Structure 1
C-alpha cells in the first residue's frame, strides 16, 4: 500500500477553505495537509487543527512535502512558489489565472522541462471541468470555436441590471457584498480576468501562446441602464462574452459585451454562473454550465486536480507550441 502523500498549501482564503472542506469529505484519499502558508498568523482560524506558518520556505524546502497547492491572489508570489516547487520535484496545483495567463510561455517550459506535474483546472470556469475537457476529450477533434461566459462577477452584475433595473454601481456593490467581486473589481469588469482564462483555453485547444495584448477587450462599465433597456425591448440580454476562434492559421480572441438572443446557449446563464461552449469539427457543439465562483465550486476543481495527480495525470499540450504576438 502506498504511503499518504503530503500537501503544502499556500493560502487559506475563500478557495483554500473551500478545498479544505471538500477534502474533508473524502477521507479515503491517501493525502494529508501538513502545512499551510498564510500572510497573517494573527487571524482566528476555527474548526481545524492545521499547522500554519507565514514562512514560504517551510513548505518549499520541506522534502517531506511532495504536493504544493497554490491558492493565493498574488500572481507574482504565486509564480515564484510554483516554479520553486517544480524545481524541487514537487507536483503542483494552482488556481491563479492571472499568473498562468500572464506566464504561458513559462508554463509551457515547466510542462516540458520538469518531471513533476502542474495542473490548474480551477483557474478557468470555477467548478466547470473545461481545461481537462479541452486538453483531453477534445484534443483530437479539432476545436473550431470556444465561446462562453468566463467571469461570474460581471455576469452577476449584468443579471441584476437586467432583472431589477439596477444601475451598474448598485449591482457591483451587491456582487462585492456577496463575495463574487473583489474590493478592487477592475480585472472582473474590464474583461481582463476573462481574457486570462481565454488565453489558457487557447493554449490547450491549439497549442499556441496568445498574448492578451492582441485580444479585443471591452469593459462592462459602458453598459448602462439604457443599454439594458434597449436589449430587453428586443427580447435580448447583455452578456460579457469571451470568444476564441481559429481561422486558417490565425487565432482571434475577444471579450466584450454582446446582445444575445433567447436561442443562444448563453442566454439563460445568469448570476455568478459560467458557461463554455466548445465547437469541434468531429462531434459538434458541447456546452458546459456551472458555478464560476465561490468556495466550494472552485475548491472542488482543486480537489479533482488532486485526484488526477494521484493517478499520475498530466496535460497533453502539444510540444510544438507557437507564440502568437
Structure 2
C-alpha cells in the first residue's frame, strides 16, 4: 500500500458524493480522486476542487489513473466502462447491482480473464460487508441458505404502513420525499432490486451463476391494510424477504412479502435498514444488520473496497462452472 493511486470516478450523485466525503476523512490512504466523469459538467458543485468531464475516455484511457470507481445508474454504460477499464489493466469498484446481476456470467469471466480486480460490496448491502464475509470467512463453510431484507425502500414503505396505518401510496410518497425510493420505484417495490442482490450473493456462496428466471419475485404493492391488520392480530409483521436455499441438489429462490414472528431475526429490522443471515454447515447462522442505503453508508462500502484493492485483495469465488437458467 505504498504507491499513491489515482482514481477515476464515474458519477457524482448520492453514492459518489458519499464516497468522496468518506475518502476526505481518510487522508492517510494513498489514493486521491483525479477525475470525475458526469453527464453534465455545467451543474454547480460547491465544496471541492475536483476535475469534472463528460468524456469517459479521459478516465478510461488515462495511463495515470489506476482505479476506476463506477457509481452511475445506467447499467448498460456501467458495463461498458467496467469492461473497458479491466481490459486496460485498471482495478475497478462498482455499486451497480443491476449491471452485475444481469451480467453475472460475464462478471464471472472477467474475474478469471483479467489480472485487474473487480469489487462490488456496495452493490448488495449498502454499509453491510456481506459479500466480503461470504467470499472470505464463510467461503469454505458450505453455505446452505441466505435470507434477508435486501431492499431498504420496500422495508421503509412496509414499516410506515404498519406503524402509521398508511396505505401503500402514502408510504411510497413519503419514502420518495425522504430519498429512500426513486421517482420510478418499480425495481424496488417489485422485488427485482432485491433479486439482483440475491443473485450476487448466491454467486459468491455457491459458485453458480443464476438468471432472473430462477426467481419468484412478488411485489409489495399487493400488501393491503387488511393484510397488515391480520398480521398484527397474530403478533407478526410483514417484511420484504429475499431467500435462496439449497436442499441437496435443489435450490429455491424467492423474493416476497413474508410474515415474520417476534423471534425472527428480521422482525426488528425497520425503516430503511437491511439485514442478512447466512446459514452454514460448520459454524451455523451468521446475521448482519445495518443501513442498506444512503450516501454515507453505501459510500463507506465503496471506501472499504478501495482499501482492499490497495492491499492487493481480490475475490476468490468458488467455481462450480454452472450457469443456471
Residue 44 of structure 1: how far off its partner (Å) = 1.0
Instruction: Say if 1:161 and 1:168, in contact at 8 Å, map to a contact too.
Output: yes
Residue 3 of structure 1: how far off its partner (Å) = 2.9
Residue 198 of structure 1: how far off its partner (Å) = 0.3
Structure 1 runs (4+) deviating above 4 angstroms are none
CA distance in 2, matches of 1:148, 1:112: 29
What is residue 147 of structure 2 aligned with on the other side?
Answer: 147
What is residue 286 of structure 2 aligned with on the other side?
Answer: 286
What is residue 159 of structure 1 aligned with on the other side?
Answer: 159
CA distance in 1, matches of 2:320, 2:214: 21
DSSP 3-state at the match of 1:137? coil
Residue 2 of structure 1: how far off its partner (Å) = 3.1
Q: Map of 1:1-325 to 2, 5 A cutoff?
A: 2-325=2-325
Residue 43 of structure 1: how far off its partner (Å) = 1.1
Give CA deviations for 1:181-236 in whole Å, capped at 9, x if unaligned: 00000000000000000000000000001111111110000001111111111110
Give CA deviations for 1:85-123 in whole Å, capped at 9, x if unaligned: 000000000000000000000000000000010000000
CA distance in 2, matches of 1:240, 1:135: 25
DSSP 3-state at the match of 1:79? helix
Residue 252 of structure 1: how far off its partner (Å) = 1.1
CA distance in 1, matches of 2:248, 2:320: 17
Residue 311 of structure 1: how far off its partner (Å) = 0.4
CA distance in 1, matches of 2:2, 2:256: 49
Residue 279 of structure 1: how far off its partner (Å) = 0.7
CA distance in 1, matches of 2:61, 2:202: 34
Instruction: Say if 1:112 and 1:319, in contact at 8 Å, map to a contact too.
Output: no
Equivalent pairs, count: 325
Residue 247 of structure 1: how far off its partner (Å) = 1.4
CA distance in 1, matches of 2:226, 2:322: 43
* Structure 1 segments unaligned to the other structure (5+ residues): none
CA distance in 1, matches of 2:33, 2:55: 16
DSSP 3-state at the match of 1:278? strand
Residue 320 of structure 1: how far off its partner (Å) = 3.4
Give CA deviations for 1:126-179 in whole Å, capped at 9, x if unaligned: 000000001111001011111000000000000000000001000000000111
DSSP 3-state at the match of 1:182? coil
**TM-score computed with the length of structure 1 as normaliser:** 0.99
CA distance in 1, matches of 2:147, 2:283: 16
DSSP 3-state at the match of 2:136? helix
**TM-score computed with the length of structure 2 as normaliser:** 0.99
CA distance in 2, matches of 1:113, 1:252: 30
Instruction: Say if 2:205 and 2:318, in contact at 8 Å, map to a contact too.
Output: no
